[in-house]
Amino acid sequence: MAVFPSDEQQEQTTSLQNPSPWSAFRYRTFTVVWLATVVANVGTWMYNAASGWLMTSLDADPRTVSLVQVATSLPMFLFALPAGALADIVDRRRFLIVAEVVLTLVAAASALLVWLDVINPLILLLFTFLLGVGSAFTAPAWQSIVPDLVPRQNLPAAVASNGVGINISRAIGPALAGVMIGVLGIAAPFWLNALSNFAVIGALLWWRPQSSAGHALPAERLTSALVIGFRHARHNPHLRSTLIRAAGFFFFASAYWALLPLLARNQIAGGPELYGILLGAIGVGAVCGAFALPWMKMAFGPDVLVAVGTFGTAASLLLLGVASEPRLALVACAIAGLSWIAVLATLNVSAQVSLPDWVRGRGLAMFVTVFFGAMTAGSATWGQIASTFDLRTAHFIAAAGALIGIALSWRWKLQTGAGVDLTPSMHWPVPVLTIEAEADRGPVLVTVEYHIAPQKRDAFLTALRGLGEQRRRDGAYAWDIFEDAAEEGRFLETFLVASWLEHLRQHQRVTNADRTVQDAIRQFDAKAEPKVTHFVAASKVSRA
DSSP for 39-51 reads HHHHHHHHHHHHH
Distance (Å, whole) CA 196 – CA 183: 19
Residue 13, pLDDT > 80, answer no
Residue 539's pLDDT is 67
Distance (Å, whole) CA 200 – CA 97: 8
Residue 112, pLDDT > 90, answer yes
Q: Which residues pair with 444 in a beta bridge?
A: 497, 536
Contacts of 189 (CB under 8 A, 6+ apart): 46, 47, 49, 50, 176, 177, 180, 181
Distance (Å, whole) CA 399 – CA 382: 11
Residues of the chain with CATH 3.30.70.100: 444-536
Residue 107's pLDDT is 93
pLDDT tens-place string over residues 242-291: 999 999 999 999 999 889 988 988 889 888 788 888 888 888 888 788 77
Q: Is 271 helix (H, G, I), strand (E, B) or coil?
A: coil
Q: Is 31 helix (H, G, I), strand (E, B) or coil?
A: helix
Residues of the chain with CATH 1.20.1250.20: 7-147+156-208+221-409
Q: Is 452 helix (H, G, I), strand (E, B) or coil?
A: strand
Mean pLDDT for the stretch of residues 143-160: 70
399-431 core/surface letters (b: 16 or more CB in 10 A; e: else): bebbbebbeebeebebbbbeeeebebbeebeeb
Mean pLDDT for the stretch of residues 511-533: 84
Looking at the chain, how many residues does it have?
544
Mean pLDDT for the stretch of residues 443-469: 91
CA 283 to each of CA 228, 255, 258, 316, 358: distance values in angstroms, whole numbers, following the listed order: 37, 17, 16, 14, 33
Residue 212, pLDDT > 60, answer no
pLDDT tens-place string over residues 307-318: 999 999 999 999
Query: Does the bond joining 443 to the residue before it have cis omega, within 30 degrees of 0?
Result: yes
Residue 437, pLDDT > 60, answer yes
Q: Is 319 helix (H, G, I), strand (E, B) or coil?
A: helix
Instruction: Note whether 236 and 473 are within 8 A (CB).
Output: yes
CA 495 to each of CA 52, 117, 463, 482: distance values in angstroms, whole numbers, following the listed order: 51, 61, 16, 11
Mean pLDDT for the stretch of residues 104-132: 92
Residue 8, pLDDT > 70, answer no
At 540, the pLDDT band (50, 70, 90 cuts) reads low
Stated as kind and residue range, the H or E segment containing 480 is strand 478-483
Distance (Å, whole) CA 26 – CA 16: 22
Residue 154, pLDDT > 80, answer no
Residue 214's pLDDT is 47
Mean pLDDT for the stretch of residues 476-502: 93
First to last CA, the chain: 33
Q: Which of 352, 376, 173 is nearest to 258 (CA)?
A: 376
Other CB atoms within 10 A of residue 449 CB = 15
Q: Which of 316-320, 368-372, 488-492 has the highest mean pLDDT?
A: 316-320
Mean pLDDT for the stretch of residues 204-216: 71
Average pLDDT, the chain: 85
281 or 87: which carries more pLDDT confidence?
Answer: 281
Q: What is the CATH number of domain 7-147+156-208+221-409?
A: 1.20.1250.20
Instruction: Note whether 479 and 494 are within 8 A (CB).
Output: yes
Share of the chain above pLDDT 70, in %: 91
Instruction: Note whether 44 and 103 are within 8 A (CB).
Output: no
**Which CATH fold topology does 444-536 show?**
Alpha-Beta Plaits (3.30.70)
Stated as kind and residue range, the H or E segment containing 463 is helix 457-473
Q: What phi and psi, each to the nearest 5 degrees, are found at residue 480?
A: -165, 170
User: Is the pTM of the predicted complex or chain greater than 0.85?
Assistant: no
